[in-house]
Structure 1
C-alpha cells in the first residue's frame, strides 16, 4: 500500500516537471481555431433603429447614369446619396446602438436571478471507541440540493427565497432527510438606500444614449454641410474652366490678330511677345483649373460613398445651378436663440452636465457608512424519507434571524476624494457649457457676417465685371487706332478674367456661407427636409 502511494507521488512529480517545461497555454490541443469557430456559430445581423436613420421629407429617386456617361446629380440627390452610402456615417450610426445597450445593462441589475446547487459528499473513515479502545470503520454519504431566487430592488433591498433538501446516510446513525424553505431580506439604511441613488446608473445610461444621438445628429449635419459645400465647389470649378477656356480662346484670337498685323508691317515684332505670353498664361491657368476640378470631383465622390456607383471613378455632372435670390439677414436675435436650443453639441454638453450632477449624488451617498438591516425566516422538516420531511414543514419547527450590519472606513479618504472629483467634474462641465454657449453665439455672428459680406459681393462683382468689360472694349479700340499696346490689352483681359472668376466665386461663397449659417444655428437638417429621431432634450 505504501509503495503504491510512493509511485503515485513520483508520477505526479514527473508530470508536474514536464508541464513546467512546456507551458499549458502553448499546447497545440488548447489552441482553438477561432475562424472556424466563428464560421460555425455565425453572427446575427445588428438591426439599426429608425431613430438613427436619416430620411428625406420628400424622397428623391436615385439617379442612374447611362453607360459611359457622367451621373446627372442635383444638390438634393447628392445629399441623399451621401446619407445612404457614406461609410463613415455607417460606422457612427452604431454608436447610439451600443450606447442604448448600457441602459438595459444597468436595469439588468434588478432582474431576478435563479440559482441552484447540488453537492454529493462520501466518506470512509476509521474511528476509535472511547469505551473499549477498539477501532471500527465508518462510512457515510451526504447529498444536498439548494434552489432559489434572489433579486435586488431599487429601494436598496436584497431578497432571497430558497428551497433546500439534505440527505444524510451513515452506518453508525439512522438515515435522516431534511427539507427547508427560507426567506431572507437585507435592507440598506444609509449607503445605497432608496431609488434616488440606486436608479442613477439607469438614468445616466439613458442620458448617455440621448447624448450619443445628439453626437450622431451633429455628424450628420456636418456631413450634409460638407456634401453641399463640395457640390458647390465642384460647380465653381466647372464654371472656372468654362471661363478659362473662353479666356484662352480670346487670347489666341488676339495673338493671331497681332501676328497678322505684324506680318503686314502695321505693328512692330515686339508686340507679339505680350500676346504670346498671354496665351501661355491662359493655358497654364487652364491646366490648374482642370486639376482643381478633378480634386473637387474626388472630394465630392468620397462624400457620396464608394457604394453609390463606381467608387472614386464615378463621373458627375451637376444639374443644380448656383443662381440664388440673395436676401439680407434681418432676424439675427431669433437665429441666436435657435442656436442655443437646437445645436447638437450644446445639447450633448447639457446632457453630459446632467450626468455629472447625478454622479455627485452617487459620491455624496458614498460618504455615508454602510448600515444594513437583515432578517431571515425558515421552516424545516425532519424525517427519514423525502416525502415525509416535506410534510413535516407544517410542523412547529422554524428558525429566525435578525440583526444589523455596520461598516465604515476610518478617515474615509477614498470616498471623500471621489466626491471632490465628482464636484470638480460637475463644475468643469458647467463651465464648459457656458463657454460653448459663447462659442455658439460667436459662430452665428461670424456666419451671419459672412453671409452679408458675400451677398453684397454678388452685386458688387457683377457691377465691376460690367465696367471691366467696357474697359477691355475701350482698350481694344485704342489698340486698333494705335493709341495702346498689346501689353495693355492683355492686362485688361487679365483684369476681366479675374473679376469674372470673382463674380462666380461670390455666388458660390454666398451658397457656402448660407450652409455654414444653417449649420451654426443647428437648423440645416430641417431646412433640407431631413428627418432624424428626436432625442431627449436636456
Structure 2
C-alpha cells in the first residue's frame, strides 16, 4: 500500500476526535459505528457497506440525501480519481531508489582480429606477416549494498591465436570487494534517498486525504446551496402569487373608488420585482444543480438529470465542545500540518546525505582470482585447480581541493530543514487561526438563525397590520408592498442562515481535520505525525 514504508520512518500517534460534541451525529449524518460493517476500496477508502447509492432512472429525478451526495463524489468524482493516482505514482520513486541495491548481471562477448605486415628494408628481406586472433566471453554478478560494500563475481574465458604460437585458452574466476571507509560508508546516508522517497509517498497520502476532506466539504456546501436555491425559488413563487393577489385586490378597490389609480403602479412594480427575483432564483438553482452533478458524477446521469434533495437544512441542537478542543484536533489531524512535519523529517535525511558528501572518498578494495591455461576450452577450466592465481588489494582516495560544491549542498540542506521547521510553526499558527475563525462562524450563524426567525415573525405581524390598514383605507399600496418585500427578505435570510450554519459546521470539522472521521470514511493519513 502506498505510504506504508514511509510510516516505518516516522512516529505516528492515533488521535480520538470524539471528544468535542457528538461525532456520531455531527450534522445529522449517520457515521461509522452503530453496528455498520465496512469494506475496503482503493487506497483503503472505506464507505459503509449498507450504502448502495441512488441511481438515475429515465425521466425521474435523482433523489439524494447529503450523505448520498458525499459517497457518490468519493466513488465517482473525476478530480478525486485523478488525485488517487498520485501516491501510486510517487511510490514508483521508491522502487527506483530501492533498485540501486538490486543485483546486476553483466556480460561481454568480443572478437578481435589483428594483421600486421613488417618490412625490413635494410636487410632486403621478404615482408613478414603477423596475425593475431582473440575471443573473449565474460559474465558475472555485481551488487551494491547499503553498507557501502560493492561485490562483484565474474567468470571469463579467452582464446588467443598468434602467428608462430600455438592456440591458447585461458579461464578465470574471480571476486572483487570494495568497501567505502569514509564517504558512502554509512548505512543511514546510503539509504537516505530511499527513505526520502518513502516519506514523499507518505506525504502524498496525507495530501490526498486533505484533497478528499476538501472535496467532502465542497460537496456538502454544494448540496446545501442547491437546497437553499430550491427554497428561494419556492419563496419567490409564493411571493409572486401574493403580489399578484395584491395587484388584483388593488385593481378591484380602484374600480370601486376606494383607492387612487396611482396605487396600481406600485402593485405592478411589486409583481415585476417578484418575477425578476424568481427568474434569478431559478437560474441560480439550475447553476447549483449542474455544479452538484459535476461533483457527484453519478453513473448513468446526464447534464439534464434532475435532482431531488431529501434533507432540509435543519439547525440541530449539537454540542460542539470547546474551541480549544477543536484547535488541538486541528494541530494533530490536519493533513497539511502533518505533511509539513514530514518535510522536516525529509530535510533531516537530506542533511545526513549531504554531510556524508563532505567526507573524502577512501575505499578499500581487494581482488582475488584463479586462472587456468590450456590448449582447449574445457581444459582451461579444469586447470583452475592449478597454481595460477591473481591477487590485488589497496586503498583508493579522492578529495576535492576546495569542496565548495559539497559545502554548498550541505548548507542548503541545513537551511531547507530550518525552513521546514519554521513552516510547521507557521502552519500551526494558521491552523489555530483557521479553526478559531471557523468556530466563530458556527457561533455567528447559530445566533443568526434565532435572530432571523424572530425578525421573520415580526415582519409577518407588520405585513398583517399593514394589510388590515390597507383594507380600511388607512395606508397605501406602496407601504403594503414594502412590508411584503421586508417579509420576503426575512424569509430568505432565515433559510440562508440555516444552510450557512450547516456549512459552517462542516467547515469547522474540515479545519480541525476530522471531517472524514466524523463522516465514517476511513482513509490513510488519520494519524498524527510526531516529531
> What is the TM-score normalised by the length of structure 2?
0.89
What does residue range 168-183 of structure 1 map to in structure 2 within 5 Å? 168-183=160-175
Paired positions, count: 489
What does residue range 271-310 of structure 1 map to in structure 2 within 5 Å? 271-305=263-297, 308-310=299-301
Matched, 1:229 2:235: no
Contiguous gaps of at least 5 residues in structure 2: 1-39
Q: Is the 8 A contact 1:163 1:181 kept in 2?
A: yes
Q: CA deviation at 1:500?
A: 0.4
Match of 1:351 in 2: 342
Matched, 1:507 2:485: no
Distance 1:445 1:420, change over 3 A: same
Match of 2:330 in 1: 339
What does residue range 93-104 of structure 1 map to in structure 2 within 5 Å? 93-104=84-95
Q: CA deviation at 1:123?
A: 2.4
1:535 and 1:254 map into 2 onto residues whose CA distance is 59
1:440 and 1:537 map into 2 onto residues whose CA distance is 14
Match of 1:60 in 2: 51
Out of 181, 185, 199, the residue aligned to residue 191 of structure 2 is 199
What does residue range 26-65 of structure 1 map to in structure 2 within 5 Å? 50=41, 52=43, 54-65=45-56
Matched, 1:260 2:245: no
What does residue range 59-458 of structure 1 map to in structure 2 within 5 Å? 59-127=50-118, 133-305=125-297, 308-458=299-449
Distance 1:140 1:411, change over 3 A: closer
Matched, 1:489 2:490: no
> What is the TM-score normalised by the length of structure 1?
0.88
Please give the per-residue CA displacement for 1:170-206, whole angstroms capped at 9, x wherever unaligned: 2310121111111111111111112111011111011
1:223 and 1:536 map into 2 onto residues whose CA distance is 20
Q: CA deviation at 1:486?
A: 1.1
2:111 and 2:146 map into 1 onto residues whose CA distance is 37
Q: CA deviation at 1:58?
A: 4.3
* Larger deviation, residues 51-60 vs 98-107: 51-60
Q: CA deviation at 1:536?
A: 7.5
Q: CA deviation at 1:533?
A: 2.9
Q: CA deviation at 1:131?
A: 8.9
2:251 and 2:274 map into 1 onto residues whose CA distance is 18
* Larger deviation, residues 171-180 vs 106-115: 171-180
Q: CA RMSD in A?
A: 1.7
Q: Is the 8 A contact 2:335 2:525 kept in 1?
A: no
Q: CA deviation at 1:53?
A: 5.4
Q: Is the 8 A contact 1:73 1:319 kept in 2?
A: yes
Q: Secondary structure at the match of 1:311?
A: coil
Distance 1:535 1:362, change over 3 A: farther
Q: Secondary structure at the match of 1:61?
A: coil
Q: CA deviation at 1:393?
A: 1.0
Match of 1:464 in 2: 455
Match of 2:520 in 1: 529
Match of 1:473 in 2: 464
1:537 and 1:170 map into 2 onto residues whose CA distance is 74
